[in-house]
Amino acid sequence: MGHARRDARARSPGPRSPQVDIRSEPVHVSAALAGGPGRTGRRAWRGGVAVLDVEARKRQVLEIIAEEAAVDPSMVDADTTVSDLGIGSLDLVELIFKIEDRFQIEIPSEGPLESTDVPVFALVDHVIALVDAKAGRPSASSAG
């Protein structure tokens, strides 16, 4: 009888579980499961998920910037400015539009994005702060 039920479920057109790629964050997931210094159990896991969420959003912003500049995201370091990537004023406007569309936010024309001399990581943190504000979360961009 057990086999018959299993076979019927296999043919059933009912809802299916979403497919998840568990390989996407092995280092962060391992750290979250380990609990990190002084953290155990459910609290550690929640902290790990929060870290993954912020890191994933930062990575998405960096990937958009790198795509606009046609560079590998790994080539960007803390000292790299938008202009170092070859992004000029008009390209910066296009980049801002792409980021606004992707995250459904509005980036003010004044502030850190007035110049191409802004460090890429400052731009990423600024975008994450806007995303967090829109979502009603305290800004996590300075937490990592």
What pLDDT is stored for residue 137 in this prediction?
A: 80
Neighbours of 11 (CB within 10 A): 7
Residue 1 maps to a domain: no
Range of the domain at 130: 61-135
Cα–Cα nearest to 126, from 138, 112, 137, 116: 112
Residue 30 maps to a domain: no
Report the C-alpha gap between 27 and 41 in whole angstroms: 18
2-26: pLDDT as tens digits:
544 444 444 544 444 444 443 443 3
What pLDDT is stored for residue 72 in this prediction?
A: 94
> Residue ranges of the chain with pLDDT lower than 50?
3-10, 12-51, 142-144
| CATH code for position 112 | 1.10.1200.10
Residue 54 maps to a domain: no
Contact 72, 66 (CB under 8 A): yes
Residue 56 maps to a domain: no
What pLDDT is stored for residue 76 in this prediction?
A: 92
Split into its structural domains, the chain has a count of 1
pTM to 2 decimal places: 0.60
Partnered with residue 119 across adjacent β-strands are 81
Partnered with residue 81 across adjacent β-strands are 119
